[in-house]
């Protein structure tokens, strides 16, 4: 009997150690779904797997975002070696638009009381079609593709596929309680500890979760992900576009300033990088370009501000359409568009206009202003030289035709510090 005592004690100690070692990963997504979110979730999945976490909990509160980013997150869920738990919380959090796909794709979908899910109708419409019929066809194609995507996710996770389709086609939205009753989610939990208690013992694939009392390990964003979350935003790209416009036009209107041109070049590279990631509408860019052209042309053409008015309208419409393909959370707010439109119009009217006109204005000071002036000779002037008094100073002067003192002469040229004159008749 005695020989079994050490074994029993060792077994108890191992069991206790195993219990203490149980942990789960936790990340919080609060805001729009975009490229930075997809990168963060993918890294968190790898980190949770490397830590041998029981599961990764994604606490979600999002109005939606980019469908492409949501698709990347769904694929990361499918490829994950660690069970994924999406928990829509705290109240009144929601899983809207792209958040619907993310929640449905989780191994375990949970929500807090009084939260909501739904309204996944695609908004990336009307980017290229110029004919209404073409727009309708593209809209129908996008709706069908997105609804099929939602249905395929629900089928894979054995959830309510018909509701998933209606969330896309009819923008259906339901509460957590309704979602549980219609098999959209698996459970409702008051908080994370309650969630861990409810999923304890659940089988996910060939793994049984042991999460009751598990240690929660938060996986924070790294520096690059935080920067990308702030940087890869429509507002930032729009401001950089304004820097490009102001920088290049400022450099052209004031040659040699250097700083505006350098700032514009750097901003242009950043805009090109961001445009390859964010869903930019080409029509919006064309309208903004047209606005700049109208502003510049109106500086030279006497249209009494007609082209400037057209430029203001074109710029405003272009800014409104610039991110019209983006999902919720990636739209450009009028709070940015209206001040930017007024500021750009004022910039071209008062800054660029005056700068360009100044370059074409006749010289107002300096030696060049003496050309064409008529003055009297102070002394006899011939090819060897003489003197004239002009602009408050005595100047050397030469003339091919001899001029006597006191006679009027016209300044025809300047050679160094000597004026070329001719008799004025």
Domain stops at, among 183, 211, 227? 227
Q: How confident is the model at residue 130 (pLDDT cuts 50, 70, 90)?
A: very low
pLDDT of res. 306: 78
Identify the three-state secondary structure at position 307. Answer: helix
In a domain, 387, yes or no: yes
In a domain, 361, yes or no: no
d(CA 126, CA 132): 9
201-205, 255-259, 270-274: the lowest-pLDDT one: 255-259
What's the rounded mean pLDDT across residues 115-139? 62
What value does the mean pLDDT of the chain take? Answer: 83
In a domain, 63, yes or no: yes
Number of domains present in the structure of the chain = 3
Q: DSSP characters for 120-182?
A: -------SS--SHHHHHHHHHHHHHHHHHHHHHHHHHTT--HHHHHHHHHS--EEEHHHHHHT
70-84, 288-302, 350-364: the lowest-pLDDT one: 350-364
Residue 102: name the closest of 58, 142, 146, 165 by CA.
Answer: 58
CATH number of the domain bearing residue 393: 2.40.50.140
pLDDT of res. 299: 67
Judgement on whether residues 393 and 349 belong to the same structural domain of the protein: no
Q: Is the pLDDT of residue 126 over 60?
A: no
Judgement on whether residues 49 and 152 belong to the same structural domain of the protein: yes
pLDDT of res. 422: 85
pLDDT tens, residue by residue, 47-63 = 999 999 999 999 999 99
Q: Is the pLDDT of residue 192 over 90?
A: yes
In a domain, 7, yes or no: no
Domain stops at, among 303, 321, 354? 354
pLDDT tens, residue by residue, 201-229 = 999 988 999 999 899 999 999 998 888 88
Q: DSSP characters for 18-66?
A: HHHH-EEEEEEEES-B-HHHHHHHHHHHHHHHHTT-S-EEEEEEB--B-
What the block records as the tokens of 156 is 């894979």
2-11, 164-173, 222-231, 275-284: the lowest-pLDDT one: 2-11
Helix axes 35-50, 67-79, angle to 10 degrees: 10
Cβ atoms of 180 and 121 closer than 8 Å: no
Q: How confident is the model at residue 157 (pLDDT cuts 50, 70, 90)?
A: very high
pLDDT tens, residue by residue, 289-325 = 888 888 777 766 666 667 888 888 888 998 888 887 6
For 411, how many CA atoms within 13 A lie in the half-sphere containing its CB? 24
d(CA 349, CA 152): 55
In a domain, 360, yes or no: no
pLDDT of res. 128: 37
Q: What beta strand segments (E) does 266-417 contain?
A: 374-376, 386-390, 393-399, 408-415
65-74, 111-120, 130-139, 313-322: the lowest-pLDDT one: 130-139
Q: How confident is the model at residue 410 (pLDDT cuts 50, 70, 90)?
A: confident
d(CA 104, CA 99): 9
Cis peptide before 352 (omega within 30 of 0): no
Cβ atoms of 179 and 112 closer than 8 Å: no
Max avg pLDDT among 99-108, 308-317, 327-336: 99-108
In a domain, 5, yes or no: no
In a domain, 362, yes or no: no
Judgement on whether residues 221 and 101 belong to the same structural domain of the protein: yes
d(CA 137, CA 422): 79
pLDDT of res. 137: 73
What's the rounded mean pLDDT across residues 383-396? 81
Q: Is the pLDDT of residue 160 over 70?
A: yes
Judgement on whether residues 129 and 192 belong to the same structural domain of the protein: yes
What's the domain range around 382? 367-423
d(CA 400, CA 144): 89
Cis peptide before 12 (omega within 30 of 0): no
Judgement on whether residues 373 and 344 belong to the same structural domain of the protein: no
d(CA 368, CA 292): 34
pLDDT of res. 354: 59
Q: Is the pLDDT of residue 256 over 50?
A: yes
């Amino acid at each position: 009997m005695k020989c079994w005592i050490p074994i029993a004690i060792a077994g108890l100690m191992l069991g206790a150690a195993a219990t203490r070692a149980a942990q789960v990963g936790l990340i919080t997504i609060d805001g729009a779904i975009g490229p930075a979110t997809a990168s963060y979730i993918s890294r968190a999945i790898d980190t949770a797997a490397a830590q041998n976490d029981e599961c990764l909990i994604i606490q979600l509160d999002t109005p939606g975002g980019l469908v492409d980013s949501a698709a990347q997150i769904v694929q990361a869920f499918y490829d994950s070696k660690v069970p994924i738990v999406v928990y829509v919380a705290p109240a009144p959090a929601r899983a809207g638009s792209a958040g619907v796909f993310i929640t449905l794709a989780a191994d375990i979908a949970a929500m807090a009381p009084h939260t909501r899910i739904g309204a996944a109708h695609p908004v990336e419409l009307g980017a290229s079609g110029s004919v209404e019929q073409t727009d309708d066809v593209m809209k129908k194609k996008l709706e069908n593709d997105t609804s099929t995507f939602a249905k395929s996710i629900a089928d894979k996770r054995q959830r309510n596929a018909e509701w998933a389709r209606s969330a896309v086609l009819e923008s259906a939205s339901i509460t957590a309680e309704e979602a549980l009753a219609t098999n959209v989610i698996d459970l409702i939990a008051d908080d994370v500890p309650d969630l861990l208690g409810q999923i304890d013992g659940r089988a996910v694939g060939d793994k049984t979760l042991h999460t009751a009392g598990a240690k929660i390990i938060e996986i924070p964003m790294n520096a690059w992900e935080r920067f990308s979350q702030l940087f890869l935003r429509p507002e930032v790209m729009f401001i950089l576009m304004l820097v490009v416009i102001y920088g290049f036009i400022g450099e052209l209107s004031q040659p040699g300033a250097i700083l505006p041109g350098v700032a514009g070049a750097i901003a242009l590279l950043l805009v090109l990088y961001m445009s390859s990631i964010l869903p930019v509408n080409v029509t919006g860019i064309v309208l903004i370009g047209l606005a700049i052209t109208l502003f510049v042309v109106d500086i030279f053409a006497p249209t009494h501000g007609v082209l400037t008015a057209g430029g203001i309208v074109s710029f405003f419409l272009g800014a409104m359409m610039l991110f019209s393909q983006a999902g919720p959370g990636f739209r450009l707010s009028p709070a940015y568009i209206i001040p930017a439109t007024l500021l750009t119009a004022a910039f071209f009217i008062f800054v660029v206009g005056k700068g360009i006109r100044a370059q074409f204005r006749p010289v107002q000071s300096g030696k060049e202003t003496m050309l064409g002036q008529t003055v009297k000779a102070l002394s006899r002037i011939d090819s060897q030289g003489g003197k004239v008094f002009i602009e408050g100073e005595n100047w050397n002067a030469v003339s091919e035709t001899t001029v006597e003192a006191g006679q009027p002469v016209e300044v025809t040229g300047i050679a160094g510090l000597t004026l070329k004159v001719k008799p004025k008749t």
